């Protein structure tokens, strides 16, 4: 890392926060007082700390000898009346940068312990950051709750603090709230004093932790509870009336918490763990130590109304957040540059736990599709970034909660586990967690522990993968009794680029059944081809992070190995995924990739289908405006006939464990591409009312009915959106509405993003779904431009949904004109937290445009020949 991050001055280090907040839910304000015990490391008369959108009312500093130091020229002039909810600059307190304050003291503080005492006011905002209000609908009535979201850098909105991950401290939290509400924080309640209709709730002291993990929640709540085998009190909270929907998450959570305690060899250190479903939540979930917050759709499961895909999602999200209780909370990255130590780890470990609990879900094959696959896609862009990424200012932090930190991070851990073997990996991470508990660590620290545990040079193997952007493609060819491997960097644009010093672990399976591991440490490698000219599959089980380009003859041999299901599901998945990526990059003709796709007719594996249909969706969206589009649709319908016969419309006893996900996937793709029979059956099923449709089929049925119908069908599904009580069901209906072919109806859905019918947390679904619709992509883009200030205003802290909205809305375009238009529009706009996404989207549009230009003709002739 070259440039140094902008950090607070090191002369003062926080040790403990004593926080007292009075919550006013009728006026949406709060009054806070925080006493921060800090150590003066170097004498100073200026204190700099973080604060944002709060009004500091008074400051005083008490030294350990009892002497009091104040800012220059007290008393402070209150500007609260004129500038109610903004940080004001009063005498002695000035704004140092946009989110820090600088307190000029009347004299210097000597080294030693001091207590900073600050009183302040804040607003319970409606922006899902800091201490905010969330609107619940309870028995049809609106009611507000107050909750926090502090990661990455919004704790400074709740209290003045030293808001950097390495500045760990303990917290004593006190909340003053209406007596009839439940108040929660990271730790259990210590005591509670009720006075008339108010109460004062004091919580136990937290362990040393980073500010971004501090959490509070106040509202009318109900819960279910249990105690894990290891004795942790576990509760799951939600708005009243849905406690039965909390049981699934409680069950998963209790099992996974104990599993991690065992696996890591360190027990979960807090006496309790609460999880809470919130009606408004910007991210998917947040791992606050002891009080994990979720959007409702990621926590609540109804036995009748939740499809398998949602159960898998909830199990995974819970496991991911629980993984953070160790990776992130107990041991925290020293700075955001190493965010992947949190997110990449939680992603891999979360999947590991779900696999442990639900073997039949075949999680590791799904992992190849959902994590490795997404990372390979983003990291093929020149505008991608390395896993270890320079982050100078806190404003840049939101940007890196992306597929690189999560998915490439997790894929690299997968690669590392196969390099080290699970026993060494486990003992290495366990000693790493032990060594750095309650402290901070960097990537280098992790490599050291793993090296000690395994005796292998982990830094040497992993360094090139985490420090450099991009990954290799290995060209695999056969000639005169030899197999040759040639390594280059893979770029989605097909451009040549200097590679890195990757050490590529190439595991190979031969048609004879022989497996071997070849370490490719240079640019090329040649080995004897002793297995007699049959097929060869490289990157066996897709456990390593690279793509393979087979020569024509080798690719042709793999066709039958796929259609006869001789390869494992992840290998079948990998061959087509690489082929389509190469086609897009101009390294293979797209008609060749399409021909390969037709080899998958006999496929029955959900994940292989999901990945293949994803590859084909990229072709469809790039060709969306072309004359060949209909031909491509016919090809899709043909490809899916056999599997449709096999899955049918009704679940059968003894069917594949993932058929409940495969069935709707097939139906959706057939309905969308013009299969009349499927469309008719979907309409017939909808006639009995949405509740009569099996939960697993609902989204596919809704989308097919809307996509093949008109205003009437749209109204039917819109009613689902209005009637349904579960967030997940409303989202299904809302996404399905975006399948309409009529612009006027699209406008209706889009209008709902602004009139409050759709919560801002869910707005990205609308843009994402419309962009997958050949007409919708233009309508969504027009709308986004026309309403930019309102939509960007929903995420003033640069929260992840904004980047997601920009990226999904424009990434399906495939012309230079569109690229130029997008560039021009954003040229003078502020896109907090989305700068990098915007660049990546532009590169994607231009790549699509080049792909289309290059292969329009060959795709046309291939279709004509069919």
Shortest approach of ligand BES to residue 99 CB, angstroms? 16
Q: Token pair for residue 420? A: 């080290």
Shortest approach of ligand BES to residue 421 CB, angstroms? 27
What are the φ and ψ backbone dihedral angles of 432, each rounded to 5 degrees?
Answer: -60, -45
Angle between helices 569-584 and 590-597 (to 10 degrees): 160
Binding site annotation covers 343? Answer: yes
What are the C-alpha distances in Å from 191 to residues 2, 173, 183, 200, 649?
49, 11, 12, 8, 56
| DSSP letter for each residue of 132-145 | EEEEEEETTEEEEE
What are the C-alpha distances in Å from 198 to residues 9, 12, 188, 203, 239?
40, 36, 19, 16, 20
Residues with Cβ within 8 Å of residue 836, at least 6 apart in sequence: 383, 385, 399, 400, 402, 803
> How many residues are listed for the chain in this entry?
866
Which of 164, 287, 591, 599 touches ligand BES by CB under 6 A?
Answer: 287
Q: Is 321 a catalytic residue?
A: yes
Q: Give the count of residues interacting with ligand BES (CB under 6 A).
A: 15
Shortest approach of ligand BES to residue 324 CB, angstroms? 5
Residue found under tokens 């699934």: 248
What are the φ and ψ backbone dihedral angles of 813, each rounded to 5 degrees?
Answer: -60, 155
Strand partners, 620: none
Which of 99, 204, 280, 343 touches ligand BES by CB under 6 A?
Answer: 343
Query: Of 279-287, 432-440, 579-587, 751-759, which segment contacts ligand BES by CB under 6 A?
Result: 279-287
Which of 120, 131, 401, 851 touches ligand BES by CB under 6 A?
Answer: 401
Give, as one character, the DSSP assignment of residue 155: G
Residue 317 sits in the site that holds ligand BES (CB under 6 A): yes
Question: Are 17 and 170 a contacting pair, CB within 8 Å?
Answer: yes
* CB-based burial, 196-231: b 16+ in 10 Å, e otherwise: eeebbbbbbebbebbbbbbbbbbbebebbeeebeee
Chosen from Zn ion, ligand BES, none, partner binding at 317 (C-beta under 5 to 8 Å by type)? ligand BES
Give, as one character, the DSSP assignment of residue 741: S
Shortest approach of ligand BES to residue 286 CB, angstroms? 5
β-pair type (12-24, 170-178): parallel
Half-sphere CA count of 75, side-chain side, radius 13 A: 4
Strands (E), 270-313: 272-278, 285-286, 291-295
Binding site annotation covers 604? Answer: no
Nearest to 719 by CA among 706, 664, 707, 671: 706
Shortest approach of ligand BES to residue 406 CB, angstroms? 6
The smaller minimum CB distance to ligand BES, of residues 321 and 611, is found at 321
The smaller minimum CB distance to Zn ion, of residues 400 and 665, is found at 400
Shortest approach of Zn ion to residue 346 CB, angstroms? 4
Query: Of 81-89, 330-338, 339-347, 496-504, which segment contacts Zn ion by CB under 5 A?
Result: 339-347
* Footprint of ligand BES on 142-171 (CB under 6 A): 151-152
Chosen from Zn ion, ligand BES, none, partner binding at 694 (C-beta under 5 to 8 Å by type)? none
Query: Of 88-96, 139-147, 314-322, 846-854, which segment contacts ligand BES by CB under 6 A?
Result: 314-322
Can you tell me the distance from the alpha carbon of 213 to that of 222, in angstroms, rounded to the nearest whole number?
23
* Footprint of ligand BES on 404-463 (CB under 6 A): none
Q: Token pair for residue 518? A: 């070849």
Residue 777 sits in the site that holds ligand BES (CB under 6 A): no
Strand partners, 488: 473
Shortest approach of Zn ion to residue 110 CB, angstroms? 42
Nearest to 720 by CA among 711, 710, 731: 731
Which of 8, 52, 291, 346 touches Zn ion by CB under 5 A?
Answer: 346
**Helix (H), strand (E) at residue 806:** helix 800-810
Catalytic residue of the set 321, 448, 599, 713 = 321
Residue 320 sits in the site that holds ligand BES (CB under 6 A): yes
Neighbours of 444 (CB within 10 A): 13
Shortest approach of ligand BES to residue 505 CB, angstroms? 27
For residues 470 to 509, the per-residue mask of contacts with ligand BES, x marking binding by CB under 6 A and - elsewhere, is ----------------------------------------
Tell me the Cα Rg of the chain: 28
Question: Are 102 and 116 a contacting pair, CB within 8 Å?
Answer: no
For residues 789 to 818, the per-residue mask of contacts with ligand BES, x marking binding by CB under 6 A and - elsewhere, is -----------x------------------
Which of 172, 274, 321, 696 touches ligand BES by CB under 6 A?
Answer: 321
The smaller minimum CB distance to ligand BES, of residues 20 and 151, is found at 151
Q: What's the first-to-final CA gap in the chain, in angstroms?
A: 54
Which of 286, 738, 770, 784 touches ligand BES by CB under 6 A?
Answer: 286
Binding site annotation covers 626? Answer: no
For residues 535 to 574, the per-residue mask of contacts with Zn ion, x marking binding by CB under 5 A and - elsewhere, is ----------------------------------------
Binding residues: 320, 324, 343
User: Catalytic positions, please?
Assistant: 321
Binding residues for Zn(2+): 320, 324, 343
Residues in contact with Zn ion by the rule CB under 5 A: 343, 346
Residues in contact with ligand BES by the rule CB under 6 A: 151-152, 283-287, 317, 320-321, 324, 343, 346, 401, 800
């Amino acid at each position: 890392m070259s440039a140094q991050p902008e950090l607070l001055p090191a002369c003062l280090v926080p040790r403990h926060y004593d926080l007292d907040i009075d919550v006013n839910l009728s006026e949406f304000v709060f009054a806070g007082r925080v006493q921060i015990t800090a150590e003066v490391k170097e004498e100073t008369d200026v204190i700099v700390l973080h604060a944002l959108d709060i009004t500091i009312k008074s400051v005083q500093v008490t030294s350990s000898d009892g002497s009091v130091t104040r800012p220059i020229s007290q008393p402070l002039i209150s500007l609260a009346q004129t500038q109610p909810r903004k940080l004001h600059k009063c005498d002695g307190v000035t704004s140092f940068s946009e989110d820090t304050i600088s307190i000029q003291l009347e004299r210097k503080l000597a080294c030693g312990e001091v207590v900073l005492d600050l009183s302040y006011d804040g607003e319970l905002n409606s922006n899902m950051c800091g201490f905010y209000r969330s609107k619940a609908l309870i028995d049809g009535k609106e009611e507000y709750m107050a909750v926090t979201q502090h990661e990455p850098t919004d704790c400074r909105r709740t209290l003045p603090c030293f808001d950097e991950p390495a500045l760990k401290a303990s917290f004593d939290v006190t909340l003053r709230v209406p007596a009839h509400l439940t108040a929660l924080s990271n730790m259990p309640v210590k005591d509670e004093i009720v006075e008339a209709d108010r109460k004062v709730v004091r919580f136990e002291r937290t362990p040393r932790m980073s500010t971004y993990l501090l959490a509070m929640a106040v509202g009318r709540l109900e819960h279910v509870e249990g105690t894990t085998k290891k004795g942790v009190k576990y509760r799951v909270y939600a708005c009243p009336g849905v406690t039965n929907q909390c049981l699934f998450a409680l069950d998963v959570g209790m099992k996974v918490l104990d599993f991690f305690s065992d696996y890591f060899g360190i027990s979960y250190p807090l006496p309790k763990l609460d999880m809470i479903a919130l009606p408004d939540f910007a991210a998917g979930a947040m791992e606050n130590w002891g009080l994990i917050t979720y959007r409702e759709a990621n926590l609540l499961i109804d036995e009748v109304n939740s499809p398998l895909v949602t159960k898998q999602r909830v199990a995974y999200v819970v496991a991911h957040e629980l993984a953070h209780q160790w990776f992130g909370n107990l041991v925290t990255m020293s700075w955001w540059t190493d965010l992947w130590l949190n997110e990449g780890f939680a992603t891999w470990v979360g999947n590991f736990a779900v696999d442990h609990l639900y073997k039949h879900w075949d999680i590791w094959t799904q992992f190849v599709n959902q994590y490795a696959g997404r990372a390979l896609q983003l990291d093929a862009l020149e505008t991608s970034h390395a896993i270890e990424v320079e982050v100078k200012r806190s404003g840049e932090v939101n940007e890196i909660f992306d597929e690189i930190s999560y998915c490439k991070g997790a894929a690299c851990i997968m690669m590392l586990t196969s390099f080290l073997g699970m026993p060494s990996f486990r003992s290495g991470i366990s000693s790493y967690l032990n060594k750095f508990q309650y402290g901070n660590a960097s990537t280098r620290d992790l490599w050291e522990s793993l090296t000690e545990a395994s005796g292998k040079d982990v830094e040497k193997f992993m360094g090139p993968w985490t420090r450099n952007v991009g990954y290799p493609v290995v060209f695999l060819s056969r000639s005169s009794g030899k197999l040759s491997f040639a390594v280059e960097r893979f770029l989605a644009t097909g451009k040549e680029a200097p590679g890195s010093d990757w050490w590529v672990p190439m595991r190979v399976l031969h048609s004879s059944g022989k497996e071997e591991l070849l370490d490719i440490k240079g640019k090329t490698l040649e080995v004897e081809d002793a297995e007699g000219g049959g097929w060869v599959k490289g990157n066996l089980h897709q456990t390593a992070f690279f793509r393979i380009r087979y020569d024509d003859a080798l690719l042709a041999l793999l066709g039958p190995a796929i259609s006869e299901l001789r390869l494992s599901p992840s290998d079948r998945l990998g061959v087509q995924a690489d082929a389509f990526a190469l086609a897009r990059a101009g390294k293979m003709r797209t008609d060749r990739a399409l021909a390969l796709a037709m080899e998958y007719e006999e496929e029955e594996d959900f994940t292989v289908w999901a990945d293949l249909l994803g590859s084909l969706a990229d072709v469809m969206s790039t060709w969306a405006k072309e004359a060949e589009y209909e031909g491509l649709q016919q090809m899709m319908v043909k490809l899916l006939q056999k599997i449709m016969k096999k899955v049918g419309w009704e679940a059968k006893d003894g069917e594949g464990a993932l058929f409940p996900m495969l069935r709707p996937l097939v139906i959706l793709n057939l309905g969308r591409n013009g299969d009349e029979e499927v469309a008719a059956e979907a309409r017939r099923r909808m006639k009995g009312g949405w509740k009569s449709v099996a939960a697993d089929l609902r989204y596919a049925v809704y989308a097919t009915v809307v996509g093949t119908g008109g205003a009437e069908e749209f109204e039917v599904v819109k009613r689902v959106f209005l009637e349904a009580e579960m967030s997940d069901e409303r989202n299904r209906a809302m996404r399905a509405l975006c399948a309409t072919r009529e612009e006027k109806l699209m406008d209706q859905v889009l209008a709902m993003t602004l009139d409050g019918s759709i919560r801002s947390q869910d707005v990205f679904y609308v843009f994402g779904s419309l962009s997958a619709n050949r007409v919708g992509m233009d309508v969504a883009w027009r709308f986004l431009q026309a309403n930019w200030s309102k939509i960007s205003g929903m995420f003033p802290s640069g929260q992840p949904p904004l980047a997601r909205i920009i990226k999904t809305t424009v990434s399906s375009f495939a012309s230079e004109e569109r690229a130029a238009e997008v560039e021009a529009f954003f040229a003078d706009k502020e896109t907090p937290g989305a700068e990098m996404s915007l660049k990546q989207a532009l590169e994607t549009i231009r790549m699509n445009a080049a792909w289309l230009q290059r292969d329009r003709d060959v795709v046309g002739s291939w279709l004509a020949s069919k």
